[in-house]
Homo-oligomer: A and B are copies of this chain.
Amino acid sequence: MSGPHLFDAGVALEPAGDVLRGRTRPEWKNFIGPFGGLIAAQAMNAVLLHRQRLGDPVSLTVNFAAAIEDGEFDAIATPARTNRSTQHWIVTLQQKGEVVATATALTAIRRDTWGAKEAPVPQVPRPSDVPLPEGPTRVEWVKRYELRFIEGGFPGAWDGGDTGASRTRLWVRDNPPRPLDWLSLTAMSDVFFPRIWLRRATFTPLGTITMTTHFHATQAQLAETGTGYLLGQTQGQGFGAGYFDHSAQLWNEAGTLLATTSQVYYFKE
């Protein structure tokens, strides 16, 4: 392999006049359009690359407003409010002058304070003891990750039986490994496959419409995580009237909570 890591190529934005410009990549294709986690990372990158940016990410909400077509897009990040140690951002991604994604983000200069974790870290086998899935993947972006399912992997049969629960636990890291940063943590917030597929064992057409990630990690904790695996856990909370949600947590191998995240999907039937 030569050249940049495929994640770096995927999230790259280049100045183009007053905006930043990115492009879709075949290596990151989902069923329709690009992997949503990559789009979220591109929105985050538009903030991180802004010359007025203050501090590190604390929260990001990305709304997937339309299917992104293959090709270029503009990423426009605007600091809506800058305070002494916090900054609020509005971001849009646009193609042909139309908004395809909206986002808000908060960045902040973090300080040492009291801290504690409360979301219990699941007791799970080590990554090396959890096999990689066998067989081909349906979509290209999945090849960009090592996804080691501890529980709640893809249904063995799409037989439409309601399993009553939709919890998944997995180990994940970039493939090939890449040191964790804000952008890859953002993208990894979206590696969980749709809960309704697991709950119903039915391959329902669907898509994420909004994802919110809260960043608990500090820059030092990202560095400590390095190229290690993240432990992800997710479960749905409610399904109905065309929409469902999940909430999720991401820890590093040392058990540090790096991010909590939630999203809403639409589904068709």
Contacts and interface: CB of A to CB of B under 8 A. Distances in A.
A262 B264 contact: no
Contact of A65 (B80, B237, B249): B80
A162 interface: yes
A51 interface: no
Interface in A122-179: 162, 165-166
Interface in A205-247: 209-210, 212, 214, 216, 218, 235-243, 245, 247
Contacts of A257: 237-238
Contacts of A239: 114-118
Contacts of A252: none
A49 interface: no
Contacts of A92: 80, 90
A119 B240 CA distance: 13
Interface string A96-121: 00111011101010111111111100
B102 A88 contact: yes
A260 B238 CA distance: 9
Counting from the closest, the 3 A-B pairs by CB-CB distance are: A115-B240, A65-B81, A119-B237
A199 B83 CA distance: 28
A45 interface: no
Contacts of A268: 113
Interface of A: 58-59, 61, 63, 65-66, 80-81, 83, 86, 88, 90, 92, 98-100, 102-104, 106, 108, 110-119, 162, 165-166, 199-200, 209-210, 212, 214, 216, 218, 235-243, 245, 247, 249, 257, 260, 262, 264, 266-269
Contacts of A115: 239-241
B81 A116 contact: no
How many copies altogether? 2
B108 A266 contact: yes
A6 to B, nearest CB: 29
B260 A247 contact: yes
A113 B242 contact: yes
Given A59-B209, A81-B102, 8 more contacts: A59-B264, A65-B86, A102-B104, A104-B104, A113-B241, A114-B269, A117-B238, A247-B260
Contacts of A199: 116, 118
